[in-house]
Amino acid sequence: MHKVDVDSLLKDFMAERATPKIHRILTTCLALLHHEFNLSEDKEGMLVFPSSLGFHCKTIACKILEQLALPATLDFLLARLREIKPELAIQPDKIQASTIADKERFFSIGAFGLAVWRRAGKKLSAQSVEALLSNFCAWQMSCWI
């Protein structure tokens, strides 16, 4: 979650002669931001920007993979995400696309792993490759049924 002090931001960009009108301008700006983008002001007068769901899910997926210390299938990651954060409206295709696109943190070989593993030269064990292949084959078969 990100916060912005709209009052200070407006004062920085306005001429001194417009300062008496700052409250009216601020009220109008906040109303427009709430109406157009569903953004709200907190108790301290800060404009609250909610965190991106995709970013949040990728951060949790990183923690899951760090704990597992092995690459994992999308189905496994989604199941763990739902266990950890059941209140999130997780959309598998968006999570998959955003994770594949994030080459700095992830790599994909039919399953997802952390890019730091690849940069560190971590080798996958035969057991983990076997598990990946069986999960991938099961997923492929479910697509045909």
Domain map (residue ranges) of the chain: 2-49, 53-144
Long-range contacts of 125-133 (CB under 8 A, 24+ apart): 128/70, 128/71, 131/70, 132/71, 132/73
| Dist CA 70 CA 66 (whole Å) | 8
> Are the C-beta atoms of residues 5 and 41 closer than 8 Å to each other?
no
Is the backbone of residue 38 left (phi > 0), alpha (psi -120 to 50) or beta? left
Residue 128 confidence class, pLDDT cut points 50, 70, 90: low
The per-residue pLDDT for range 70-104, each reduced to its tens digit, is: 788 888 888 888 888 887 778 888 788 888 888 88
Bridge partners of 106? 114
| Dist CA 76 CA 67 (whole Å) | 13
Altogether, the residues listed in the chain come to a count of 145
Long-range contacts of 136-143 (CB under 8 A, 24+ apart): 136/73, 136/110, 136/111, 139/73, 139/75
The per-residue pLDDT for range 106-127, each reduced to its tens digit, is: 888 767 888 888 788 776 654 5
Q: What is the reported pTM?
A: 0.51
Q: What is the pLDDT of residue 131?
A: 64
> Are the C-beta atoms of residues 79 and 105 closer than 8 Å to each other?
no
